[in-house]
């Protein structure tokens, strides 16, 4: 099940530019990001110059939140790709606050 879900997620990342649909999201949305996350799918195949510009989640998170109506961005500046694992207490507090 995990492998299948990962395959579906990877396919979406590489074949479906979901950013174009952000404006169509009609439910309140909370984005939770780690400020030190530099994940960039495909970045390992980009030129060094392009790779430097990829995966800047503070910028990406703010842009996504601005594009999604009723979006809230929760930033954890000192965390990386997995805030839920790196700081579960803080993450869960933010998540519970978002779903109140």
pLDDT at position 21 over 90: yes
Q: Check: CB of residue 57 under 8 Å from CB of residue 38.
A: yes
Give the pLDDT score at 4: 92
Domain extent listing, the chain: 29-98
Give the pLDDT score at 18: 84
The model's pTM is: 0.80
pLDDT at position 10 over 90: no
In SS3 terms, 35-61 reads as CCCCCCCCHHHCCHHHHHHCCCHHHHH
Q: Check: CB of residue 64 under 8 Å from CB of residue 31.
A: yes
**What confidence tens digit (pLDDT) does each residue in 41-97 have?**
888 888 989 888 889 999 999 999 999 999 999 999 999 999 999 999 999 999 999
How sure is the predictor about 31, in pLDDT bands with cuts at 50, 70 and 90? Answer: very high
């Amino acid at each position: 099940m995990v492998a299948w879900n990962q395959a579906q997620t990877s396919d979406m990342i590489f074949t479906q530019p979901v950013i174009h649909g952000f404006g169509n999201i009609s439910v309140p949305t909370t984005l939770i990001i780690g400020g030190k996350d530099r994940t960039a799918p495909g970045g390992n195949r980009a030129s060094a110059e392009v790779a430097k510009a990829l995966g800047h989640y503070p910028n990406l998170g703010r842009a996504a939140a601005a594009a999604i109506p009723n979006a809230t961005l929760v930033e954890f500046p000192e965390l990386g790709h997995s805030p839920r694992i790196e700081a579960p207490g803080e993450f869960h507090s933010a998540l519970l606050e978002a779903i109140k």
